[in-house]
Amino acid sequence: MVSQKTIYFLLLSLISCFAQAQTEPIPVKKDTTYWRKKKEFGLNFNQGSFSNNWQGGGVNNLGLGTFFNAKAEYRKERDSWVNDFQSQFGFQKIKNQEFRKSIDRLFFDSKYGRKLGQDTIWAFVANLNVLTQFANGFDFNYAYANQTYPHISGLITPFFLTEAIGIEWRPTSYFNLNFLPGSVRHTILADKDLYREIDARNATEVEAGGTPYDFKNYGVKRGNRALTEVALMQLVANFDKDVFKNVNLKFRYQAFASFKDLGAIDNRLDAKITAKINRFINFNFDLIALYDQDQVTKIQYAQSMGLGFLYTFK
C-alpha cells in the first residue's frame, strides 16, 4: 500500500515539473521556407574495344566522367543570397597512351542581392567567383622531339578569383543578366615556376632544330605569382531551365573587358544539357568555349557527352 508521504512527494514533483515547463521557453523550429537547396551527383562511363584484325579500324579506349553540383538559394522579401558550387572531372584512356583529362573544372559562385524596390526586377548585387581545376594539364596537340608534351597547368594553376559589385536584371526566375563595372580579377598561379620547365624544354628543342612552345603564363609576369586586372565592365548571364520535360539547359556566359586592353575582351561560355531518361539514368552534353588572349589568340573549346548515373537530392 502506498504511503501518504509517497503520494505527497509525487504530487510535489509533478507540480515542480509543470512550473519549470511554464518558465522555460518553448524551442522554436528554424524557418527554412526561404531556402531552396539542390545537390546532384553523376557518373558517366564509356568504353570501346576492337580485335586486332577489325577491318573498320579503331582503338581500345575507356572513359569515365563524374560531377557533383550543389546550389543553395535564399530569397526573402528584397534580399537574396545564391551559392553555386560545380565540379566536373573526367579522363580518357586510349590504348598505348597515358590517361588524359577529358574535362576538369572546379567552380564556386556566391552572390548577395538586394532589390532596388519591392516589386522591381532590378537589384544591387555583390559577387565573389572562383574558377580553377583539379589535376595537371598537358598540351597533347604539341609534341617535343622526344615525344613528351608541355606541362601547362595544375591544381590551382591557374586560379581565377573575381570580386564584383553592380546591378542585376532578373526578368524571370530562370534568367538573369549582371552588369558589373569595376570588377577585379586575380589570376593566381600556385606553381609560379611552371614557365621554367617549359623554357628549359624550349631551349633543348631549339638546339634540336624544333619550334619552341609558345606559353603566355596566363598573363602573369614570369617569376610572379599573380596578376590583378580591373575591368571597365563585366557582364555575366545565367540561364537554368527545363526547356522540355526532363530536359534541363544550364549555361553561364561571362565577358570581362580589362582596362589593360579594351580591345581584347575575355569571353567564356559554360553550358550543360541534362536529359533524364529515368530516375537514375541520364544523358548529358557539356560545352566550354573560351577566348582569352592571355592564354592563346584563338578560341578554345572543350566538349563532352555521356550516358550514366544521376542522383538528385535536396
DSSP letters for 207-245:
HTT-PPP---GGGPPTT-SEEEEEEEEEEEEEEEEEEET
What domains can be seen in the chain, in order of their start residue? 39-313 (2.40.230)
Using one digit for the tens of pLDDT, what is the confidence trace for 96-133?
777 888 889 999 999 999 999 988 999 999 999 999 99
CA 132 to chain centre: 8
> How many Cα atoms within 13 Å fall on the side-chain side of residue 184?
5
pLDDT at 14: 47
Grid cell locating 301 = 573549346
pLDDT at 30: 63
Q: Which residue has the cell 526586377?
A: 121
pTM: 0.84
Using one digit for the tens of pLDDT, what is the confidence trace for 122-180?
999 999 999 999 999 999 889 998 888 999 999 999 999 999 999 999 999 999 999 99
Q: Are 212 and 163 in contact (CB under 8 A)?
A: no
Phi, psi (rounded to 5 degrees) for 295: -110, -70
Q: Which residue has the cell 569571353?
A: 267
Give the mean model confidence (pLDDT) for residues 182-191.
Answer: 95
- Find residue 241's DSSP bridge partners: 249
Q: Is the pLDDT of residue 190 over 90?
A: yes
- Greater model confidence, 73 or 279: 73
pLDDT at 7: 44
Q: Is the pLDDT of residue 24 over 80?
A: no
pLDDT at 145: 87
- The Cα 65–Cα 60 span in angstroms is 17
pLDDT at 2: 45
